[in-house]
Structure 1
């Protein structure tokens, strides 16, 4: 069992099959209610040193997102953290303007206090994308490109449709969303011990943050069901090498690009606004 990027051993399959949800409904609600606080604590502990700057964008973005390399473009980064994508992007593509939002006030403050921060090129702000409307801070249909780098895995899957609908409203027709995240059967998923599984492919880290592992079909369905067109979805196989411990572990990430379609008639916007309204109404029932 497995997929083309990772075939599970019998032991790995047995481990995943034996893992059961360790949380009751009350515990799940409590974890969700404390998520923002736990991310603030994460950045209090690790400050700006936990994640490396994402310099791969210099080579990858012109190939994956040529739109981001054009003059006068506006990019929205969802889940900006302390700026590990923002600052390399602005270094390589200085003509960009970046809207950058994060769940954590502490993370956003680290972006603002970075010596490379330029308020003329970047607008960072705090936002819970599951409920805070982006239209309150960004003009409707103002964004050319959106990035979600290890964002969606940190959100409960039931809340991801609300995030995608929220982002959809500030994208221009034809705008592209780029996603990179944890793929199904990644080494990190197999490392979780007993008592950490919350739901299928959703786990809780020691610090109370979430980690969801996406299949291609799951990621594709989330976007297509919420109004986007699929451009590409695929697993990425990689290896993490620890030379000190002489360890080499397989990593599985998932990468996708999705597009807000061009309208074919005047009913297009109303159709997806009604979809969004229906979703939120069902959430409240």
Structure 2
């Protein structure tokens, strides 16, 4: 069971998180969610296509490493590319700086990437793969990638696979190459909104549509990368507020942002 920090949470929020323990996802249901995870994400992209996630124009502001000041084209791998909301804004800023490998384990997501008007095999190779498998990145040469991006991706996968994922990424990264990470932080507003019956285990939850999400603490993420052969540059919480006065919305958000180097 989780222990909750009084320094971070109000008593009301601690009560909400404790109430989530009243009814956990059953072992049978948790195993089904793991077994059918590809199906649930495929259905997600069938319903939402490229409309759910906004284009991520903020990435070069938050990750200066994405601004290519050199005259050499860099090779970037985005894991969990979805419908292309990260790669296409990046290419629009500087179409000649990168060759991008974009992978996802949802075939429908890859279809959306490949049907985009900017898709060009001179700059992008999008492919379906399961990053949790040993052969996930066999078509990419070892020690050939300059940058890997994990943007709201790792949280959607069962934590039992994290070591294997980082092992796969370590193999294809060049020495000195970097992983850029952004995902949901521990006690983010969305974690506090889950009702009893949605928690699988500590900080890992089932959404209504069958997809899942994990909420990262700084300590957990740092230990994960260090034990898998990476060196820390930065691991921080990013706290933001989403404000929409017209709809009377004012909610806090908490993300983890990190950089690790091979």
Common topology (TM > 0.5): yes
TM-score by structure 2 length?
A: 0.93
Among candidates 107, 110, 113, match of residue 111 of structure 1: 113
Pick closer, same or farther for the CA change 1:33–1:72 going to 2, 3 Å: same
Task: Name the counterpart of 2:239.
Answer: 237
Among candidates 22, 25, 28, match of residue 23 of structure 1: 25
CA shift digits 1:53-73 (9 cap, x unpaired): 111124333x2x157553221
Look up the SS of the partner of 1:136 in the other structure: coil
Q: How many residues align?
A: 256
Q: CA RMSD in A?
A: 1.6
Contact 1:74 1:145 in 2 (8 A): yes
Task: Name the counterpart of 1:276.
Answer: none
Among candidates 218, 221, 234, match of residue 219 of structure 1: 221
Look up the SS of the partner of 2:208 in the other structure: coil
- Offset, 1:132: 4.9
Does 1:203 pair with 2:200? no
Runs of 4+ residues over 3 Å off in structure 1: 1-4, 66-70
Task: Name the counterpart of 1:277.
Answer: none
Instruction: Give the unaligned 5+ runs of structure 1.
Output: 261-285
Pick closer, same or farther for the CA change 1:186–1:141 going to 2, 3 Å: same
Task: Name the counterpart of 1:179.
Answer: 181
Instruction: Give the unaligned 5+ runs of structure 2.
Output: none
Counterparts of 1:51 and 1:236, CA distance in 2? 19
Counterparts of 1:112 and 1:3, CA distance in 2? 47
Structure with the higher fraction of residues in helix conformation: 1
- Offset, 1:28: 1.4
CA shift digits 1:90-124 (9 cap, x unpaired): 11132210000001000001000000111100000
TM-score by structure 1 length?
A: 0.86
